[in-house]
Amino acid sequence: MRLLRRSTGLKDVSLQMTPMIDIVFLLVIFFLCTAEVCKLELDPAVTLPVAFRASPETGDHRLVVNVGRDGGIRVMSAAYAPGELRRLIAEEAARQPAPDGGTALAVKIRADADAPYRHVSEVMAACRDAGVRRLAFGASPGEESAGSGRDLR
Amino acid sequence: MATFAGSRTLKELLEEYEWELPTSFIDVVFLLLLYFTLTMKFHTLEQRMEAYLPNKGPGSDERPPIKPELEIQVATAGPASGAPVFQVGTWTTADPNALAAKMAQLERTCPKYYQVVINGAQGCPFKHVMAALDACARAGITKVDFRPPPAADGSAA
Quote the pLDDT of residue B60: 47
CA pair distance B135, B100, nearest whole angstrom: 4
Query: What CATH number does domain A50-141 carry, 3.50.50.60, 3.90.1150.10, 3.40.50.300, 3.30.420.270?
Result: 3.30.420.270
Quote the pLDDT of residue A102: 81
CA distance B113 to chain A (A): 15
| pLDDT classification of B130: cutoffs 50, 70, 90 | very high
Q: Give kind and range of the element (H or E) at residue A82.
A: helix A82-95
CA distance B27 to chain A (A): 7
Q: Show residues of chain A in contact with B146, CB under 8 Å.
A: 121, 124
Say if the Cβ atoms of A51 and B126 lie within 8 Å: no
Range of the domain at B82: 69-146
**Backbone Cα Rg of chain B:** 29
**Backbone Cα Rg of chain A:** 24
Strand partners, A67: A73, A111
Identify whether residues B39 and B106 lie together within a single domain: no
Residue in B closest to A57 by C-alpha:
B47
Q: Show residues of chain B in contact with A118, CB under 8 Å.
A: 122-123, 149
| Residue B39, in any domain of the structure | yes
| pLDDT classification of B2: cutoffs 50, 70, 90 | low
Domains in chain B, number: 2
| Residue B152, in any domain of the structure | no
Cα dist from B93 to B87, B111, B122, whole Å: 7, 22, 19
Give the closest residue to B94 by CA, choosing from B122, B131, B69, B121. B131
CA triple B120-B124-B127, angle to 5 deg? 85
Length of chain B: 157
